[in-house]
Chain A
Amino acid sequence: MLGKTAAGLYWMCRYLERIEFTTRLLDAAFRIALTNSNDAKSEWGSIILTTGNKASYLELYDEYESTRVINFLLREKSNPSSVLSVIETARNNARIVRTALTRESWEAINECWLELNSSLRRPITENALPQVLSGIRKQNALVRAALDGTMLRNDIYNFLRLGTFIERADSTARILDVKYYVLLPSLSQVGSSIDFVQWESILRSVSALRAYRWLHGNQISSKQIANFLILDERMSRSLTFCLQKINNNLFYLSQTYQGEFSCRTLADTMFKRLQHVSIDKILLDGLHEYLLTFLSNSEALNKEIETNFGFYG
């Protein structure tokens, strides 16, 4: 496979995952806004921060106002990580790797692009937001289903999966980092319940509210949430889960290509560390520091993958 093709597949899935994350963040923030609490305004600011867009947002606007944030994250052309920009790039990547995709997969991505372009053509009002978001998620789900249902499980698929899980781990780490103060033991005493609105928002933004309740009922503790999102290998957006998937795919790639790759060593180290650490230790050493290290390792892993498999000349 061409290095460029591998890069296209990898980034296509990273972008699709990014769309998923942005829509979930918006959904969570919107629910907070509906409560009319004091949290609403800071929540809009916090999702801008989470998506890594603070500087470019503040270039355009002074205040974190709901419809501005919504439209900035969904349709702002000058924002390279708005959903509209990202689906454009994802589809361009799909066009570049057209020869590596099944017809169903290509058509699903192309239709996703067509649908999003039409649903995001005009500014989105708060009233319209829930419907728009669910439309985007549905399109995204169709793409995932096409890939899952029609793609051969070979190196092509491995690169798709790598992109998905690297982006997903990155997203989970980011949301945790932006909200880490909510989870700090010092702010919410052990045993006492943390801010209901805030924890719900975190869990919603990773689609894990129901899953958490299955496991822990109504017992909400900062430690358990952090544990759930970082270490629980049953939770499909936890760091451990993502790293395990990344590890598996790199294992298959090294088998297919019959070689040893430095990215695999790095991923393996990251995975082992997650396996052998307890949530107590993470909180004791500092959650923020832990997440910063994770994010920088994740960035290093991304670089290693790019180099090992000849993504760029």
Chain B
Amino acid sequence: MFWPRYCCITEIMGSVDNKHLNSEVFDEMQTALGPRVPYEQFYEWFKSENHYQLRKKPKELDKFFRKTGITFNVYGESDGEERLIPFDFIPRIISELRWRKIETGLKQRANAINAFLSDIYGNQEIIRAGWIPEELISQNAAFLPEMIGVKPPGGIYTHISGTDLIRVNDEKFVVLEDNVRTPSGASYMIENRETMLHMFPELFTRIPVKSVSNYPEQLLQILIASAPASATATPVIGVLTPGVLNSAYFEHAFLADQMGAELIEGTDIKIIDKKIMMRTTQGYRAVDVIYRRIDDNFLDPLNFNPNSLIGIPGLFDVYRNGAITLANAPGTGIADDKAVYSFMPEIIKFYTGSTPILENVETWRCSEELSLKYVIDNIEELVIKEVHGSGGYGLLIGPTSSKKERAIFLRKLRANPSNYIAQPTLSLSTVPIMEKKGLAPRHVDLRPFVLMSPTEVKVTPGGLTRVALKKGSLVVNSSQGGGTKDTWVLEGV
């Protein structure tokens, strides 16, 4: 994920000085007149703390994370070196009022996306009704033809989604990206809170913060509720991981552990009598629900990528017969595709009958002639992204690009316009981080997690706040030097 915006950012040096706040940027903590309402209590505490001691905290935090093994692997590093995701202890605070709107908006979006998937792999009413072009789906690499006509148990495709939001002003959060394949980060949301409770317990006795700790329990409940009809009253749940070398292995193990589920790999599984069975110390036992953290492509070498060594051969055949639940369902990628994203307002309207509560970022589809012309003419002002790119790779940030970079990108764009979308550079919010010299504003995004079962949709209050640690930077990805913050939703404020 990447945040487009440009304007200069002023460092706040020394303790808590707010004179240099840039009026163009929405800082979530401070105004020229003092802290904003949600931050008042925290600010009081912060002012009264010994800042010399506080500045030592980051080192303690690092040690704490290393000790607990909250690390991730970076591909291509020598010796499989493990890295920490930097954590900044200044929380990101959201009032209950703002959160309520986010929550309703996310639920609306999740319902619409699930209905969209059900339709797209079913009768395709939305195309017949002319709301989206047919080729948007039929010519999209993220569309999985194998899923046509397959009904997932309970009708749920997107059991878990992580929607990336950015804040542009006091009231407005907009959706930057939907993540409905295998979104990660929930474990960091929980561990960040655990860490804060460990380091600053007094904060939580003073300030009413909504808890995030029951996420694993809720995840377990929605997985149980989505079990196939053939499952027993106590369905067996497995978390399918590519293995210990995967960059998100910590999260896979963490969630399995917290749910009391088995952490399985492809090699633990065998298909016996058209059922998914796992090898236990007492022979083979049936699995009913797989929370898979492996991409579609690698799930099943017999039905998808034949070179996959981490999948389960024949899994999709069992799935097609309705004998196993996969969370999320295969083929959900069509719903978080960037070209489809631009139609999300239509999609929400079509399935829910109402306008989107959370808006999209304005998006130009380069596949359309007029848009392409606009994008080419205004390339210096825009952020251009590959439709299937992710993780902040494969994009051009107009305002900070060099002439040469633009020329190269233009060639690619002209050669294959439908592979690109463009968005305006946005002014997005900042939250301070603790630097050696005091507080300094840094750009943040927010990934709340939405859980869906056949009977309900739940949103954990808060989510994962990612923060760009470099001054002025917009890149929050952990793989590119971003960090995280604890996210507080206040109770009754």
List A residues at the B interface (Cβ < 8 Å). Answer: 1-6, 92, 95-96, 98-99, 103, 106-107, 110-111, 114, 155, 159, 253, 257, 259, 309-310, 313
Shortest CB–CB separation between residue B463 and chain A, in angstroms?
A: 24
Shortest CB–CB separation between residue B230 and chain A, in angstroms?
A: 21
How far is it, in angstroms, between the C-alpha of A2 and the C-alpha of B249 when the chains are bound? 18
Contact A95 B253 (CB under 8 A): yes
Shortest CB–CB separation between residue B256 and chain A, in angstroms?
A: 5
How far is it, in angstroms, between the C-alpha of A3 and the C-alpha of B265 when the chains are bound? 11
Contact B268 A3 (CB under 8 A): yes
Contact A95 B69 (CB under 8 A): yes
List B residues at the A interface (Cβ < 8 Å). Answer: 66-69, 244, 249, 253-254, 256-257, 261-265, 267-268, 270, 278-283
Contact B280 A3 (CB under 8 A): yes
How far is it, in angstroms, between the C-alpha of A107 and the C-alpha of B261 when the chains are bound? 20
Centre residue among B68, B270, B281 by max chain A CB count within 10 A: B281
How far is it, in angstroms, between the C-alpha of A292 and the C-alpha of B244 when the chains are bound? 37
How far is it, in angstroms, between the C-alpha of A3 and the C-alpha of B254 when the chains are bound? 20
In the complex, what residue of chain B is closest to A4 when comparing beta carbons?
Answer: B268
How far is it, in angstroms, between the C-alpha of A95 and the C-alpha of B248 when the chains are bound? 12
| From B261, B270, B279, contact of A4 by CB (8 A) | B279
Apart from A95-B253, A107-B67: 4 A-B pairs, beta carbons within 8 A: A2-B268, A4-B267, A92-B244, A313-B267
Contact A309 B281 (CB under 8 A): yes
Q: A98-B257, A313-B268 are in contact. Are A2 and B279 (CB under 8 A)?
A: yes
**Chain A residue contacts of B265, Cβ below 8 A:** 4
Contact B257 A2 (CB under 8 A): no
13 A-B contacts (beta carbon < 8 Å): A2-B264, A2-B280, A3-B279, A3-B281, A4-B267, A95-B69, A99-B261, A107-B68, A159-B281, A253-B281, A257-B282, A259-B282, A310-B279
Contact A99 B263 (CB under 8 A): yes
How far is it, in angstroms, between the C-alpha of A111 and the C-alpha of B256 when the chains are bound? 22
| From B244, B257, B261, B280, contact of A310 by CB (8 A) | B280
How far is it, in angstroms, between the C-alpha of A111 and the C-alpha of B231 when the chains are bound? 41
**Chain A residue contacts of B66, Cβ below 8 A:** 110, 114
Interchain residue pairs A-B with the least CB separation, the first 10: A98-B253, A309-B281, A99-B257, A3-B279, A110-B69, A310-B279, A6-B281, A99-B256, A1-B281, A257-B282
**Chain A residue contacts of B264, Cβ below 8 A:** 2
How far is it, in angstroms, between the C-alpha of A259 and the C-alpha of B83 when the chains are bound? 45
How far is it, in angstroms, between the C-alpha of A4 and the C-alpha of B67 when the chains are bound? 25
Contact B253 A99 (CB under 8 A): yes
**Chain B residue contacts of A4, Cβ below 8 A:** 265, 267-268, 279
In the complex, what residue of chain A is closest to B262 when comparing beta carbons?
Answer: A2
- Classify the secondary structure of B's interface with A: mixed
How far is it, in angstroms, between the C-alpha of A52 and the C-alpha of B263 when the chains are bound? 34
**Chain B residue contacts of A259, Cβ below 8 A:** 282
Q: A110-B69, A111-B67, A114-B67 are in contact. Are A95 and B249 (CB under 8 A)?
A: yes
Shortest CB–CB separation between residue A205 and chain B, in angstroms?
A: 31
**Chain A residue contacts of B257, Cβ below 8 A:** 98-99
Contact B283 A310 (CB under 8 A): yes
**Chain B residue contacts of A155, Cβ below 8 A:** 281
**Chain A residue contacts of B254, Cβ below 8 A:** 98
How far is it, in angstroms, between the C-alpha of A277 and the C-alpha of B69 when the chains are bound? 48
In the complex, what residue of chain A is closest to B255 when comparing beta carbons?
Answer: A99
In the complex, what residue of chain B is closest to A93 when comparing beta carbons?
Answer: B244
Shortest CB–CB separation between residue B213 and chain A, in angstroms?
A: 14
Contact B270 A313 (CB under 8 A): yes
In the complex, what residue of chain A is closest to B68 when comparing beta carbons?
Answer: A107
Contact B281 A257 (CB under 8 A): yes
**Chain A residue contacts of B253, Cβ below 8 A:** 95, 98-99
**Chain B residue contacts of A95, Cβ below 8 A:** 69, 244, 249, 253
In the complex, what residue of chain A is closest to B260 when comparing beta carbons?
Answer: A99
How far is it, in angstroms, between the C-alpha of A43 and the C-alpha of B325 when the chains are bound? 60
In the complex, what residue of chain B is closest to A259 when comparing beta carbons?
Answer: B282
**Chain B residue contacts of A106, Cβ below 8 A:** 69
How far is it, in angstroms, between the C-alpha of A224 and the C-alpha of B244 when the chains are bound? 48
How far is it, in angstroms, between the C-alpha of A12 and the C-alpha of B68 when the chains are bound? 18
**Chain B residue contacts of A2, Cβ below 8 A:** 262-264, 268, 278-281
Shortest CB–CB separation between residue B157 and chain A, in angstroms?
A: 27
How far is it, in angstroms, between the C-alpha of A155 and the C-alpha of B280 when the chains are bound? 12
**Chain A residue contacts of B244, Cβ below 8 A:** 92, 95-96
In the complex, what residue of chain A is closest to B249 when comparing beta carbons?
Answer: A95
**Chain B residue contacts of A5, Cβ below 8 A:** 262-263, 281
Shortest CB–CB separation between residue B430 and chain A, in angstroms?
A: 34
Q: A2-B264, A98-B253, A99-B257 are in contact. Are A110 and B279 (CB under 8 A)?
A: no
Shortest CB–CB separation between residue A256 and chain B, in angstroms?
A: 9
How far is it, in angstroms, between the C-alpha of A2 and the C-alpha of B287 when the chains are bound? 12
How far is it, in angstroms, between the C-alpha of A99 and the C-alpha of B254 when the chains are bound? 8
How far is it, in angstroms, between the C-alpha of A116 and the C-alpha of B263 when the chains are bound? 28
How far is it, in angstroms, between the C-alpha of A258 and the C-alpha of B281 when the chains are bound? 12
Shortest CB–CB separation between residue B244 and chain A, in angstroms?
A: 5
Shortest CB–CB separation between residue A79 and chain B, in angstroms?
A: 16
How far is it, in angstroms, between the C-alpha of A92 and the C-alpha of B73 when the chains are bound? 13
Centre residue among A1, A99, A110 by max chain B CB count within 10 A: A99
Contact B262 A110 (CB under 8 A): no
How far is it, in angstroms, between the C-alpha of A5 and the C-alpha of B257 when the chains are bound? 13
How far is it, in angstroms, between the C-alpha of A310 and the C-alpha of B268 when the chains are bound? 10
Shortest CB–CB separation between residue B361 and chain A, in angstroms?
A: 38
**Chain B residue contacts of A310, Cβ below 8 A:** 279-283
**Chain A residue contacts of B281, Cβ below 8 A:** 1-3, 5-6, 155, 159, 253, 257, 309-310
Contact A110 B268 (CB under 8 A): no
How far is it, in angstroms, between the C-alpha of A111 and the C-alpha of B65 when the chains are bound? 11
How far is it, in angstroms, between the C-alpha of A107 and the C-alpha of B280 when the chains are bound? 26
